[in-house]
Structure 1
Amino acid sequence: MATTTDTAVTTSLVSVTLEVADPEAARRFYRAFGVDACIALRASEAHSTGFRGFTMALTVSGPATVDGFVEAAVQAGATVLKPAAKSLWGYGGVVQAPDGAIWKIATSAKKDTGPATREIDEVVLLIGVEDVKATREFYVGRGLTVARSFGGKYAEFAAGRSCPVKLALYKRRALAKDLGVPVDGTGSHRVVLGGSADAFTDLDGFAWEPVGPPAPAQD
């Protein structure tokens, strides 16, 4: 009989799909924001209120690039939740897309060493969980590899070969505080993780569905 680990040996994150009420409007927004290559979109009327329990986090090269992404998002219709500012860890800001998804744009650099760009160094789907250690072990049991872990506070998994997005875990309350939103929320997370194995739902209700690797780009 196959064990859970046997089933999940090849599990990896293949895609991230945001569920939105109006895919065409969302597509226009994300194209203008400059992050449309990071996500897929799907029409959904799933009920959701308050904090959905996750953020998409972009790491970029410097403060000017952070400002450029924040400005592009606002011009396309986003709401600023936390204005871009210096912090202990660098420089960053938080915006909320018209569809409700929250995006954090940050850099570890506190000063620019070059001109602003539209390049993204790293994309992380950061999900808020009740118990980081338990959820980390759940995902290890599904076959994901831990890349970084800080006790019960944070865990990050190694990126899959076919997806530009990494998966990371953070305490839900701490994540809401970092994003500048109330922690309360009900209903659907309105994000679906595409995996290379079977469908499942994690300990905090985040759903995975089986998907194939993305098709190669056409010339």
Structure 2
Amino acid sequence: METTASTSSLASVTLEVADPGAAHRFYTAFGVDTYIRLRASEAHSTGFRGFTLALTVARPATVDGFFDAAVDAGATVLKPAAKSLWGYGGVVRAPDGTIWKIATSAKKDTGPATREVDEIVLLLGVEDVKAGRQFYVGRGLTVARSFGGKYTEFASDGAGPVKLALYKRRGLAKDLGVPAEGTGSHRLVLGGTTGPFTDPDGFTWEAATSSALS
């Protein structure tokens, strides 16, 4: 595991959408509007945009609650919620094109459904996890845990509500149930505590601001 002094972190996640008003209504109904920001954009994008937001909750009933809320608000089902070796979860695509994974490590309900979120992780699909990890460590992020060239998660100092992780692009697409190919904009802007930059896979960072969700 690589570590360095924490001098930078992910402070905000901004989704670029064609209709911010409609997207705001969707994310409010979904129940995750406080975790993301929205920005109007007509940037061209086709296929897989190279990332997902993974929503972790406590139990299957809560997965179902968020999953059903997303579908009722207009999301498309990519993978129905179901049991697996690691727990229970499903995948949806929001009307703006952003892919969300909703999951729990629990296989049985130990209580009623809630609307509580345990954790949200932004997974960036990258061509080379090791190179991406080295790049971000050089930018001041601290590695919290890492599994060779497959996955890296960075530590959060509480600056933002979403954690950052790197995942092999093709592996991420397979996990989400979509083809790995995609072109154009990621339709995603990350806010950081250091200056603006673009990572090796084209993900754009800007200086974080305290502005509210638009």
Mapped partners of 1:9, 1:167: distance in 2: 14
The Cα shift of 1:9 comes to 6.2
Among 179, 185, 192, the alignment partner of 1:188 is 185
The Cα shift of 1:161 comes to 1.6
Secondary structure at the counterpart of residue 83 of structure 1: strand
Among 187, 202, 206, the alignment partner of 1:209 is 206
Instruction: State the number of aligned residues.
Output: 208
The Cα shift of 1:159 comes to 1.3
The alignment status of 1:41 with 2:38, answered yes or no, reads yes
| Structure 1 segments unaligned to the other structure (5+ residues) | 1-7
2:94 matched to which residue of 1?
97
Among 108, 114, 119, the alignment partner of 1:117 is 114
2:139 matched to which residue of 1?
142
2:23 matched to which residue of 1?
26
- Once the two structures are superposed, the pairs formed by residues 121-200 of structure 1 within 5 Å of their partners are 121-200=118-197
Deviations 1:70-120 (A, max 9, x none): 000000000000000011111000000000000000000000111000000
Secondary structure at the counterpart of residue 36 of structure 1: coil
Mapped partners of 1:188, 1:52: distance in 2: 7
The alignment status of 1:80 with 2:77, answered yes or no, reads yes
Deviations 1:44-64 (A, max 9, x none): 000000000000000000100
What's the C-alpha RMSD, in Å, of the aligned pairs? 1.3
Q: Given residue 118 of structure 1, which amino acid in structure 2 is its aligned partner?
A: R
Do the aligned partners of 2:153 and 2:165 also contact (CA within 8 Å) in 1? Answer: yes
TM-score (structure 1 length as normaliser): 0.93
The Cα shift of 1:215 comes to 6.8
Mapped partners of 1:101, 1:78: distance in 2: 10
Deviations 1:102-141 (A, max 9, x none): 0000000000111000000000000100000110010000
Aligned identity (percent) is 79
| Structure 2 segments unaligned to the other structure (5+ residues) | none
Deviations 1:142-170 (A, max 9, x none): 00000010000000001132201000010
Do the aligned partners of 2:13 and 2:190 also contact (CA within 8 Å) in 1? Answer: yes
| Shift in CA distance, 9/90, structure 1 to aligned 2, threshold 3 Å | closer
Q: Given residue 19 of structure 2, which amino acid in structure 1 is its aligned partner?
A: D
Q: Given residue 20 of structure 2, which amino acid in structure 1 is its aligned partner?
A: P
- Runs of 4+ in structure 1 displaced over 2 angstroms? none
Q: Given residue 81 of structure 1, which amino acid in structure 2 is its aligned partner?
A: L
Mapped partners of 1:9, 1:70: distance in 2: 35
Do the aligned partners of 1:132 and 1:153 also contact (CA within 8 Å) in 2? Answer: yes
Mapped partners of 1:181, 1:12: distance in 2: 29
Mapped partners of 2:46, 2:8: distance in 1: 30
Do the aligned partners of 2:6 and 2:142 also contact (CA within 8 Å) in 1? Answer: no
Do the aligned partners of 1:89 and 1:108 also contact (CA within 8 Å) in 2? Answer: yes
Q: Given residue 112 of structure 1, which amino acid in structure 2 is its aligned partner?
A: D
